[in-house]
Amino acid sequence: MLTARIAVVVSGGGTNLQALIDAQARGELKSGQIALVIADKAGIGAIARAEKAGIDRKVIVRKEEGFEEKVLAALAEHRIDMAVLAGFLGILSADFIARFPGPILNIHPALIPSFCGKGFYGLRVHRAALDCGVKVTGATVHYVNEVPDGGRILLQKAVDVLPGDTPETLQRRVMEEAEWILLPQAAEIVCAQIVREKESNE
């Protein structure tokens, strides 16, 4: 059966990557396969997760010259159809977005348009939500464009803020109850669209 080839771009522990790996193992990624993991620095937990799952992986250091060129080359070399930014801390340029032919998804740990954009990542997002006193937060999967967290929203899931929450407890709940559920669902939706397009072009 035709499947879309997925690349996952990571910068950290890789729990969202693991959610994709586990979904694939459960047969929930019917239209896609994780074909490549790109880590933007060495020694991060996400690399070990990819290795354990037997997924091709490359370290392309974001701080080094020519990062985007190298990523584009790796995506082409691995015949990637779509990319997922999973805990990726970089901002891709408009040029990169224009040159990669497929869709790019990102998971953001808040309900966009709240607590998003430049400087809102990791625990900072949850600290801002707690400082604001919101009673509900959540996660968003959106298409990536050149505006940080600015692309069209694909899926969202709400998560309650509980009395006594810290940024750490809230982050964990948002990951468990929203991010790790939404990202595989979103990947399957987009991969299914890609497969339909491939089949109609045959």
Q: How far is the CB of 195 from ligand GRF (least distance, A)?
A: 25
Which residues make Cβ contacts (< 8 Å) with residue 37, sequence separation at least 6? 7, 8, 9, 10, 17, 46, 47, 50, 55, 56, 57, 58
Among 90, 122, 148, 167, binds ligand GRF (CB under 6 A): 122
Which residues, listed in sequence order, are joined to residue 100 by a DSSP beta bridge? none
Among 9, 50, 80, 86, binds ligand GRF (CB under 6 A): 86
The DSSP annotation for 2-47 comes to: --EEEEEEESS--HHHHHHHHHHHTT--SSEEEEEEEESSTT-HHH
Q: Which stretch binds ligand GRF (CB under 6 A): 14-22, 23-31, 47-55, 68-76?
A: 14-22
Q: Give the x-and-dash track for 102-121 against ligand GRF (CB under 6 A).
A: -----x-x------------
Q: How far is the CB of 55 from ligand GRF (least distance, A)?
A: 15
Q: How many residues bind ligand GRF (CB under 6 A)?
A: 16
**CA neighbours closer than 13 Å in the CB half-sphere of residue 198:** 15
Residue nearest to ligand GRF (CB): 87
Q: Is 184 in the site for ligand GRF (CB under 6 A)?
A: no
Burial 131-166 (b: 16+ CB within 10 A, else e): eeeeeebbbbbbbbbeebbebeebbbbebebeeebe
Q: Of 6 and 195, which CB lies nearer to ligand GRF in the complex structure?
A: 6
Q: Is 151 in the site for ligand GRF (CB under 6 A)?
A: no
Q: Which amino acid is at 62?
A: R
Q: Which of residues 27-46 bind ligand GRF (CB under 6 A)?
A: 46
Q: Which residues bind to ligand GRF, rule: CB under 6 A? A: 10, 12-17, 46, 86-87, 107, 109, 122, 171, 175, 179
- Residues with active-site annotation: 108
